[in-house]
Structure 1
Amino acid sequence: MGLVAAFDIHCNALPLVEVSRTVPEATVLLELQYNHGERPLFILTVTDGPWRTVETALTDAADVKTWTAIGASDATRRYQAVPTLSFEQQLGGQIDDLEGLEALATVDAVIDRIEVNPDGWRQSGWFADREAFGEFASFWRENAGFRLLRLTRDGASEPPGDGLTDRQREALRIAYEMGYFEIPRRTSLEAVATELEISASSASERLRRAQTQLIEETSAATWPPLPE
């Protein structure tokens, strides 16, 4: 079975990031239309933003040559934009391995959603296997910033677990409910340990292990374990 992944790519040079940075309250979805010359056209679906500000941002964007409003419905507007920069001009200043980026087009994957954010793109898509996803993730880890949000097998009804044991999950829940993680703290480690009916040193170790596990699953450059 294949994999379904959602992830953030942190790269200011990606197309239309400048627009999202100008209008951060807007949701900007991007499609690439590949049947128009060497560079694909940008097809934008924009919601929740002041449309006049969005259109001013499109006019001022360094990577947009011209744009056309092609439809509107309530708070959603659709635009077609012609890129003004070549592939090398757009990304060459931040990404050294442009050949590697072009090679990603041959990976057995389908990216079905691109959301433009003020610091890059949030993407989701389908990958044939771990090797295909690994090529994609490795490139962005090495050349920009990459944060995995979700990785599941296709057809899975639930995302993979967080890797915590039941005791670790209980410790985190109780510590959270008692205010141990608030600033300033509303309770002490000793009070959390008493509630768990273990020693303070054991509570500290359990919480540290739980937090380390969550960091590895959500922020570190590793993949979450897939369900069997």
Structure 2
Amino acid sequence: MRLVAEFEIRCDALPLVEVAATLPETTLILELQFNHGGRPLFLVTVTDGSDREVANALSDAYDVNEWTLVGEAGDTRRYQVLPALSFEEQLGDHVDDLAGLEALATADAIIERIEVLPNGWRQTGWFADRDAFDEFSTFWRRNADFSLSRLTRDGESKPPGDGLTDHQQEALRTAYEMGHFEIPRQASLEEVATELGISASSLSERLRRAETRLIEETVATAWPPLPE
């Protein structure tokens, strides 16, 4: 029985947590590139936040050696990051069993998504069976603050909107509560943006991305196909 798990690992020593704490208005998605020797490179996708803020945060981070901007589209940028620390230097004071941590890389599991938070990582992973998940969760419960959000069987559907980022959910919720979607409209884009502490253009982009994701998860998946 294959399982899909969503969980948070709260540990300040995890890679790039300092960067996320410096950039509270951004969304950081981390991928590990294991084909680059013993210490994997990081591929970091950053949404929102100015170029200068992101560049300064990466340059000042204690666990970043070098970084390169490799792609940009709208308000989303992708960086390749060379870590400054080994696993032992990064986590040695926080994880009792470093050998166990390295063993998790060969477990019957695939970590599909890592979102870097100001206090740890939020992850989505696929596990071959319950034993594989228990091995993973037991390790992190023993070495950090592990919190399971959802555990489902492979193939079970997710509720619409589950793929939204925290910032997108907050934007939709605030706009709805303030009456931005009512007819007639009770709150302008500028008023909602002021409530959130962001620019109107950033809010517009955030709402558009959120609405697109909801359409992809609901209307766009309807069957039979809509007539052309």
The TM-score range, normalised by the shorter chain, is 0.5 to 0.7
1:121-151: per-residue Cα shift (whole Å, max 9, x none)? 0000100111100000011011001000110
1:100 alignment counterpart = 100
Q: Tell me how far apart the structure 1 counterparts of residues 110 and 79 of structure 2 sit (CA, whole Å).
A: 23
Count of equivalent residues:
159
Amino acid paired to 1:53: E
Q: Tell me how far apart the structure 2 counterparts of residues 140 and 25 of structure 1 sit (CA, whole Å).
A: 27
Amino acid paired to 1:155: G
CA deviation after TM superposition for structure 1 residue 49, in Å: 1.7
Q: Tell me how far apart the structure 1 counterparts of residues 158 and 67 of structure 2 sit (CA, whole Å).
A: 40
2:23 alignment counterpart = 23
- Is 1:121–2:110 an aligned residue pair? no
2:77 alignment counterpart = 77
Q: Tell me how far apart the structure 2 counterparts of residues 157 and 21 of structure 1 sit (CA, whole Å).
A: 32
Where do residues 26-45 of structure 1 align in structure 2 (5 Å cutoff)?
26-45=26-45
Unaligned runs of 5+ in 2: 160-228
CA deviation after TM superposition for structure 1 residue 51, in Å: 2.3
Q: Residue 115 of structure 2: SS of its match in structure 1?
A: strand
Q: Tell me how far apart the structure 1 counterparts of residues 34 and 5 of structure 2 sit (CA, whole Å).
A: 23
Displacement over 2 Å in runs of 4+: none
1:168-225: per-residue Cα shift (whole Å, max 9, x none)? xxxxxxxxxxxxxxxxxxxxxxxxxxxxxxxxxxxxxxxxxxxxxxxxxxxxxxxxxx
Where do residues 187-206 of structure 1 align in structure 2 (5 Å cutoff)?
none
Amino acid paired to 2:149: L
Change (3 A) 1:158 1:46: closer
Q: Using the aligned pairs only, state the percent identity.
A: 66
Question: TM-score, normalization: structure 2?
Answer: 0.68
**Bigger Rg, structure 1 or 2:** 1
CA deviation after TM superposition for structure 1 residue 157, in Å: 2.5
Q: Tell me how far apart the structure 2 counterparts of residues 13 and 132 of structure 1 sit (CA, whole Å).
A: 24
CA deviation after TM superposition for structure 1 residue 77, in Å: 0.3
Q: Tell me how far apart the structure 1 counterparts of residues 16 and 87 of structure 2 sit (CA, whole Å).
A: 14
CA deviation after TM superposition for structure 1 residue 50, in Å: 2.1
1:49 alignment counterpart = 49
CA deviation after TM superposition for structure 1 residue 85, in Å: 0.5
Q: Tell me how far apart the structure 2 counterparts of residues 32 and 65 of structure 1 sit (CA, whole Å).
A: 15
Q: Tell me how far apart the structure 2 counterparts of residues 51 and 4 of structure 1 sit (CA, whole Å).
A: 34
- Is 1:6–2:3 an aligned residue pair? no
Q: Residue 139 of structure 1: SS of its match in structure 2?
A: helix
